[in-house]
Copies of this chain bind each other. A is one copy, B any other.
Amino acid sequence: MMTKVTDYLENNKQRQLSELMELLKIPSVSTDPNHKDDLKEAANYIIEQLKALGFKTELRPTKGHPIVLAEYFVNQKLPTVLIYGHYDVQPVGPISEWDNPPFEPRIIDEKIYARGASDDKGQIFAHIKAVEALIKTTNTLPLNIKFLIEGEEEIGSPNLGPFLEQEKLKLACDLVIISDSAMIAPNTPTITYGLKGLAYIELEVIAANRDLHSGAYGGGVPNPINELAKIIAQLHDKNGKITVPGFYDDVIEISATEKAAFKKVPFDEKEFAEEIALKGTPGEHGYTVLERIWARPTLDVNGIKGGFQGKGAKTVIAAKASAKISCRLVSNQDPKDITKKLIKYIEDIAPNYVTVIARDLHGAKTALSPLDSKAVKLTAKALEKSFDKEVVFARTGGSIPIVNNFQEELGVDVVLVGFGLENDGAHSLNEKFDLKNYYDAIKASTEILNELNNF
């Protein structure tokens, strides 16, 4: 049977790529209200794809962007897998800095370049194309499949939680598969078992009711940019520890077993630094780079702005300045609790001659998958077969807010199997997805779906 599938995939490579490119052309940036219609278009494109394969599809409206639901029911004796993904993409940043327009996908050097290529359109589409191959070659599927593809992952999935709670029965399944992560190295099948949580705030420092001439006012007024800088500088100590009181209260130390396992992971600090042209890899003292990224909480400023940002010199003292600050969380750290502590600390250290406004932008809980679950074991077996290589079990510093909800609401295990690479530029410029990884993902997905027949 698998030969037929392999042949089918080989014969349909070009079309399966073209169809992904059509999806990548749609600028479905969920954070930007101007793209509302594009989100709908992307959702409908996926609906049409699944409908054509015989899926029962629904486009479910939410307060934000709609959710794609699709089901292929074979029979009640078979297990049911729910495949989750998202059709929304990150904002593109300064468009002029892309080598190629982000929504005009182009293939260069066996890689497809476009916003969303890897995160997550390419990865979710690979599952759809795998399902296509199975249906076209066998006229059925080895198990019941549900697709749940949302349009708000990049803005923290605000409407998916309530939706899961409300549609528990409709979404009932034996396990959830998510491909929205990366392989630890090229051609290395990877199951991610630990996700960080996230606490993301926006901070505004206001000093005056208008911008001021630095000649007329300089020396007599607080400068909100200098004050914001002072606040940010106080968020870490000299050892790279986060200074927010109580920040580490719910952090569990990395176990000796896990530390040992991390050492076996094909991760090289030097290569890591070289690939992105770093001059050093500073961070929390006492931990390796991989430990810090995977299993220690972090705090980063994601954006800052204030005053004159144009060319040349303008002698202005800004009325206000602002920053976006986020913490990646681990263990039992709760995003709401950390957000509260972070905001309180900032308010405490801010001088009383400025006004500080802090807003909670979004949060995500941490998540871990048990490595000995049937779901993980079967998926790993299929991956090893497909890649003919041992699976690496990895953690990540990333967050997929909804993983936690799946575990809690549906009471099932979630398996994260990623086909992207860390250097795909997922939240950066020139995002890409290696064609090999796209085709490998399709192939591996067919293996996984077959293997899950044994669930």
Chain A residues in contact with chain B, CB under 8 A?
A: 31-33, 90-91, 93, 154-156, 182, 196, 198, 200, 202, 207-223, 225-226, 228-230, 232-236, 272, 276-284, 289-290, 292-293, 296, 298, 300-318, 321, 323-324, 326, 328, 351-355, 361-362, 396-399, 422, 425-430
Contacts and interface: CB of A to CB of B under 8 A. Distances in A.
A429 to B, nearest CB: 6
A293 B422 CA distance: 51
Contact of A399 (B33, B208, B215, B217): B215
Contacts of A300: 214, 218, 223, 225-226, 317
A327 to B, nearest CB: 9
A36 to B, nearest CB: 13
Contact of A218 (B217, B290, B328): B328
Given A276-B208, A280-B353, A216 B310 contact: no
A91 B225 contact: no
A293 to B, nearest CB: 4
Contacts of A277: 208-209
Contacts of A311: 31-33
Contacts of A284: 219
A91 B353 contact: no
B232 A313 contact: no
A216 B398 contact: yes
B427 A315 contact: yes
A362 B214 CA distance: 15
Nearest to A233: B233
B232 A226 contact: yes
Contacts of A326: 214, 313, 315
A316 B431 CA distance: 13
A302 B314 contact: yes
A361 B302 contact: no
Report the copy number of this chain in the oligomer. Answer: 2
Contacts of A430: 210
Contacts of A396: 215-216
B303 A304 contact: no
Contact of A313 (B156, B226, B293, B426): B156
A301 B226 contact: yes
Contacts of A293: 216-220
B210 A315 contact: no
Contacts of A323: 225
B211 A328 contact: no
28 contacts: A31-B314, A156-B313, A211-B425, A211-B428, A212-B428, A215-B399, A216-B397, A216-B398, A217-B276, A217-B422, A218-B300, A219-B289, A219-B292, A222-B279, A223-B300, A225-B232, A225-B323, A226-B235, A280-B353, A300-B317, A302-B308, A302-B315, A302-B317, A303-B316, A304-B304, A304-B307, A305-B309, A308-B324
Nearest to A297: B219
A260 B271 CA distance: 65
A31 B310 contact: yes
Given A304-B307, A305-B309, 11 more contacts: A91-B308, A91-B314, A93-B308, A212-B276, A215-B427, A219-B293, A223-B301, A233-B234, A301-B306, A304-B304, A313-B362
Contacts of A354: 279-280
Contacts of A217: 276, 293, 397, 422
Which of A225, A284, A321 is packed against the most chain B CB atoms within 10 Å? A225
Contact of A278 (B208, B228, B398): B208
B313 A307 contact: no
Contacts of A398: 213, 215-216, 315
Which of A200, A202, A279 is packed against the most chain B CB atoms within 10 Å? A279
A16 to B, nearest CB: 26
Contact of A222 (B202, B278, B298, B303): B278
Contacts of A308: 91, 93, 302-303, 324
A346 to B, nearest CB: 13
A168 B275 CA distance: 58
A159 B334 CA distance: 59
A302 B428 contact: no
